[in-house]
Chains A and B, each alone.
Chain A
């Protein structure tokens, strides 16, 4: 089975955001908030960068 690039991005963003949120915030509520924000930032910035690079495939 070959996972899609987008699925790999989602999994990577989720795992890294979880670690950052746990490291940088102390209570559950702010961890959740920070984690969701970091996850969104990872995914959105990657999609935007990918879109900006799409005219230059090589």
Chain B
């Protein structure tokens, strides 16, 4: 009994790092890796849609690192939490957004909230991997 529990624990802890990494790289991928298909697909669809709609609404995706504008740094980190889609969108030339667009601020809100929600999803993937959540 104790052996099988230790075995289960070690198997769970071996899955923590990949689950969290996949969850960051692609929203929902951590849950798919852990076999939670429905949850993973809902996260992928909802957070993916938030990010894509944000980019379609002319969100800026500039990378701010440094101490001159701490709020901009936090905003960049929030957007970056979406993972690969953020870097792909930047590589495709959606980096600057369009400040004059009516929907620019909406776009920024969508992309940043998508990233922040993905932080919660990464924590949920961690809890699922260690067995704290079903």
Q: Size of chain B's interface in residues, with CB distance under 8 A? A: 21
A18 & B42 in contact (Cβ 8 Å cutoff): yes
Smallest CB separation, A18 vs chain B (Å): 5
For the complex, is A44 an interface residue (Cβ under 8 Å from B)?
no
Partner-binding segment picked from B2-10, B18-26, B62-70, B105-113: B105-113
B103 & A3 in contact (Cβ 8 Å cutoff): yes
Q: Is the interface of A mostly helix, strand, loop or mixed?
A: helix
Q: Beta-carbon contacts of B48-83 to A below 8 Å, as 1s and 0s?
A: 011001000100000000000000000000000000
A19 & B42 in contact (Cβ 8 Å cutoff): yes
Known: A12-B109, A12-B110. A19 touches B103 (CB 8 A): no
For the complex, is B95 an interface residue (Cβ under 8 Å from A)?
no
Tally inter-chain residue pairs, CB-CB below 8 A.
Answer: 38
Interface size class of A (residues with CB under 8 A): 10 to 19
Smallest CB separation, A8 vs chain B (Å): 5
Q: Beta-carbon contacts of A1-21 to B below 8 Å, as 1s and 0s?
A: 011000010011001101100
Q: Is the interface of B mostly helix, strand, loop or mixed?
A: helix
For the complex, is B121 an interface residue (Cβ under 8 Å from A)?
yes
B106 & A8 in contact (Cβ 8 Å cutoff): yes
10 smallest CB-CB distances across A and B, nearest first, come from A18-B46, A15-B46, A22-B42, A19-B46, A19-B117, A15-B50, A8-B106, A23-B124, A22-B39, A15-B49
> Could you list which residues of chain A lie within 8 angstroms of chain B, going by C-beta atoms?
2-3, 8, 11-12, 15-16, 18-19, 22-23, 26
Not counting A8-B57, A8-B106, A15-B46, a sample of 7 additional A-B residue pairs whose C-beta atoms are within 8 angstroms of each other reads A12-B109, A15-B50, A16-B117, A19-B42, A19-B43, A19-B121, A22-B43
